[in-house]
Amino acid sequence: MEYLVHGVVGFVCLATQISITLLYFTKVKTTSYTTSFENKLCRINSKTLAIEEWDVNELVKKQGFDNIHDHRSVVRDGVFYFTQTLGNHKAKLGVLDFNKRELLFKYEFESKNGGISSIQVSEERVFIHTQDNTLHIFEK
């Protein structure tokens, strides 16, 4: 596999002979996380470029998520915090632990909240801002 790394922080373009895949990632020390086609969560060793994939498609579909591909995601200590906004009635927060290979938490927002505007994660809390200008705070 050939690869191209562009100078924009948080963006990688991996090119193969067959097709080009654009991947967004969050860098954590020497490890980067990204999602790929059909709900695969990938952990990339930034030094060796080794890619470890976890197919979460069945797991997230059973929990009512359509996909994990949203630019509003954060990785902290091997835990992937992702959001889904597919219209007002489908805004959700999900938390996947890559090391344990399990869904730790799921939250479905009320339709009155609208879509998810942003996500921030601290050591102790998860902050979600929704379109109705509400800040939702979740304790870890």
50-108: per-residue pLDDT in tens? 889 999 999 999 999 988 887 788 899 889 999 988 765 678 999 999 999 999 999 99
Gyration radius (Cα) of the chain, Å: 15
How many angstroms separate the first and last alpha carbons of the chain?
A: 39
pLDDT of the residue at 94: 95
Q: Contact 126/138 with Cβ under 8 angstroms?
A: yes
112-129: per-residue pLDDT in tens? 888 899 999 999 999 999
Query: Distance (Å, rounded) from C-alpha 3 to C-alpha 38?
Result: 21
pLDDT of the residue at 11: 42
Reference 114, options 88, 90, 138; nearest CA is: 88
What predicted TM-score, i.e. pTM, was given to this entire model? 0.76
What does the pLDDT average to over 17-39?
A: 62
Report residue 37: phi and psi, to 5°: -50, 140
Please report which confidence band the pLDDT of residue 29 belongs to, taking 50, 70 and 90 as the band edges.
low
Query: Distance (Å, rounded) from C-alpha 49 to C-alpha 31?
Result: 9
pLDDT of the residue at 34: 85
39: phi > 0 → left, psi -120 to 50 → alpha, else beta; which?
Answer: left
